[in-house]
A = this chain, B = another copy of it.
Amino acid sequence: MSFLRTPDPIPGWLSESELAETRARVPMLYVEAVPVRTDDRGQVLDIGILLRVSPSGSITRCIVSGRVMHGETVRGALSRHIEKDLGPAALPQLPQSPVPFTVAEFFPWPGVSPLRDNRQHAVSLAYVVPMSGDCQPRHDALELAWMTPGDALSDSVAEEMEGGRGTLLRQAMAWVGCLP
């Protein structure tokens, strides 16, 4: 979602007007990564939640999320967005399988899905990604907060999650077996 603000100069990048036009025509393919820390048996201990300043100036919480570009693989997009948001030393353990824990459907209008994206219809493949290195939030993220699953799933955090992604976090924690 942060793509618009600091575009990478790579093929697949679209101008603002091309992007607006395209968004009106087709669902946009996204990836989401829920950053986690695990113990040595793979059990999730903490979830990484980003604090971001939205274009309107308000502060929101989010996870790693971004567009898959033309010609880019899903793995490539995951890797690129994680590096953009968490820095080059995050050492993500990317999933072996392309099967996501859920397929998240965002609509610009209410009533279809609990997830919302005012800019577009987006379909996002969502993954849990353990980080074994040092995460340094970059870009327009102010801070990365590591929270226990219990804290991350609290109502107060869920309400501040961008686009209704509190639901995505609950789905991620259900999948890893960490629902409180």
The smallest beta-carbon distance between A76 and chain B, in angstroms, is 7
Question: With A170-B174, A179-B171 in contact, is A102–B98 under 8 Å at CB?
Answer: yes
The smallest beta-carbon distance between A90 and chain B, in angstroms, is 11
Let me know if A25 and B70 touch, CB within 8 A: yes
Q: Which residues in window 92-149 of A have CB below 8 A to B?
A: 93-103, 105, 107, 112-114, 121, 123, 125, 128, 130
Number of interface residues of A (CB under 8 A): 59
**Residue of chain B at shortest CB distance from A72:** B27
Let me know if B14 and A25 touch, CB within 8 A: yes
Asked if A42 is at the interface of the complex by the 8 Å CB criterion, the answer is yes
- A170 to B12 CA separation, bound complex (whole angstroms): 31
Chain A interface (Cβ within 8 Å of chain B)? 12, 14, 18, 22, 24-29, 36, 38, 40-44, 67-76, 78-79, 93-103, 105, 107, 112-114, 121, 123, 125, 128, 130, 167, 170-171, 174-177, 179-180
Other CB < 8 Å A-B pairs besides A73-B113, A170-B179, A175-B175, 13 of them?
Answer: A22-B22, A24-B70, A26-B26, A27-B70, A38-B96, A42-B93, A68-B123, A73-B105, A73-B112, A74-B105, A74-B123, A98-B103, A114-B180
